[in-house]
């Protein structure tokens, strides 16, 4: 190696090292530590002995871990499906309408994005107040004569999860709307104009021309929804509390994970072993589902 190449190598190291060190210590190292830690039994913050996959088998088969884990996982699935069906399809509709310059679309666009900027914490606490039995939502139902529909939205098991999901959709619909808007705006206008001149109706125009061309952004939104659904934590924390009340009906992997790591599943001490196992499951789920979504959409992608 000559001096010139050495100098080049030194410069590269100078540029990438600070960033790589931080990513290494705070992203990659914790990933491997999670995998490693999940194979040990723990006493507080100290590993006791190597137990192989026992933490995982306890998590999947033993009371109360199994019940809590499956219950939480089921709620995360509800989160994912509801978000896909309610939020992302509405987002797609709004994005499409705005791309077709529906009257007032500039104002719609700016207003839809407002709640996206707010912290989940503030939004959760705000709606937590509005959804209280004496809160604004019930007051409004009373005002329009729908007293029969008044409920303790966050206090009843059958409503609580859906209520929190609706709040989250309230906050986030603007995001897929504007992502889809940008994607549809990238579809060449000639395509739309030509189809329009040929007398293609709205419905057909959307499904046969626009939709196939924006599959990449649908994939991105799907992947983000997967990651978002698995990461649900603040929403529960602010509206029904760390225990995912009432009676664990709003519990998610995120809140269960937090309780396991910092104070236990059914009121005990932190359990690092089981907690790490849950962490690893979150990693694997995120990775797998993202991979599947990307695969799935690649088969349907259309190139112009």
Partner 1 sequence: MISDLRFRGAGWGKRLFIFLMMAIMTIYVLLILYPLFNMVISAFKTNREILTKPFGFPQSIGFKNFHTVWVEKGFDRYFANSLLVTGVAMGFVLLFGSMGAYGVSRYRYKANTLVYMLFLSGIMLPLKAAIIPLFIIVKRLGLIDSRISVILIFIAMGLPSTVFILSGFMKGIPLELEYAARIDGCNDFQIYRRIIMPMTAPAIALVTIYNAVPIWNDFFFPLVFLQSNSRKTLPVGLSTFFGQHATNWSLLFTGLSIAILPMLLMYIFMSRYFIKGMTAGAVK
In the range 130-149, which residues lie near partner 1 by CB under 8 A? Answer: 130, 134-136, 139-140, 143
Q: Which of residues 149-178 bind partner 1 (CB under 8 A)?
A: 170, 173, 175, 178
**CB of residue 1 vs partner 1: minimum separation in angstroms?**
12
| Closest to partner 1 by CB, 23 or 53 | 23
| Closest to partner 1 by CB, 67 or 139 | 139
CA-to-CA distance for 255 and 215, rounded, in angstroms?
33
Q: Which of residues 24-43 bind partner 1 (CB under 8 A)?
A: 24-31, 33-34, 37
| Closest to partner 1 by CB, 20 or 149 | 20
Full DSSP string of 259-296: HHHHS-TTSSS--HHHHHHHHHHHHHHHHHHHHHHHHH
Q: How is residue 135 annotated by DSSP?
A: S
CA-to-CA distance for 119 and 161, rounded, in angstroms?
19
Taking CB under 8 A as the rule, does residue 65 contact partner 1?
A: no
CA distances from 81 to 97, 100, 296 (A): 23, 28, 17
The encoded tokens of residue 56 equal 């995982």
Taking CB under 8 A as the rule, does residue 297 contact partner 1?
A: no
Taking CB under 8 A as the rule, does residue 287 contact partner 1?
A: yes
Taking CB under 8 A as the rule, does residue 48 contact partner 1?
A: no
How many residues of this chain interact with partner 1, rule: CB under 8 A?
A: 101
Taking CB under 8 A as the rule, does residue 19 contact partner 1?
A: yes
Taking CB under 8 A as the rule, does residue 217 contact partner 1?
A: yes
CA-to-CA distance for 235 and 194, rounded, in angstroms?
46
| Contact string 112-131 vs partner 1 (x = CB under 8 A) | xxxxxxxxxxx--xxx-xx-
Taking CB under 8 A as the rule, does residue 84 contact partner 1?
A: no
Taking CB under 8 A as the rule, does residue 248 contact partner 1?
A: no
């Amino acid at each position: 190696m000559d001096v010139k190449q050495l100098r080049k190598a030194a410069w590269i190291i100078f540029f990438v090292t600070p960033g790589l060190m931080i990513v290494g210590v705070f992203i990659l190292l914790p990933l491997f530590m999670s995998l490693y830690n999940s194979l040990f039994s723990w006493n507080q913050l100290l590993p006791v002995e190597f137990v192989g996959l026992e933490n995982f088998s306890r998590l999947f088969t033993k009371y109360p871990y199994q019940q809590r884990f499956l219950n939480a996982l089921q709620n995360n699935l509800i989160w994912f499906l509801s978000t896909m069906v309610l939020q992302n399809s509405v987002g797609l509709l709004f994005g499409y309408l705005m791309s077709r310059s529906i009257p007032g679309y500039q104002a719609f666009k700016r207003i839809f994005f407002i709640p996206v900027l707010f912290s989940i914490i503030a939004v959760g606490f705000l709606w937590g107040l509005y959804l209280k039995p004496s809160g604004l939502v019930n007051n409004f139902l009373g005002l329009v004569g729908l007293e029969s529909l008044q409920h303790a939205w966050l206090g009843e098991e059958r409503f609580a999860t859906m209520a929190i999901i609706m709040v989250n959709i309230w906050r986030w619909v603007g995001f897929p709307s504007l992502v889809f808007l940008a994607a549809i705006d990238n579809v060449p206008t000639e395509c739309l104009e030509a189809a329009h001149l040929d007398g293609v109706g709205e419905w057909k125009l959307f499904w046969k021309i626009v939709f196939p061309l924006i599959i990449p952004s649908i994939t991105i939104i799907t992947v983000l929804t997967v990651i978002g659904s698995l990461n649900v934590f603040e929403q529960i924390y602010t509206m029904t509390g760390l225990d995912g009340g009432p009676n664990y009906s709003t519990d998610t992997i995120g809140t269960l994970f937090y309780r396991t790591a910092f104070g236990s599943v059914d009121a005990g001490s932190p359990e690092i072993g089981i907690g790490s196992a849950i962490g690893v499951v979150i990693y694997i789920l995120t990775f797998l589902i993202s991979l599947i979504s990307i695969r799935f959409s690649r088969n349907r992608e259309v190139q112009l």
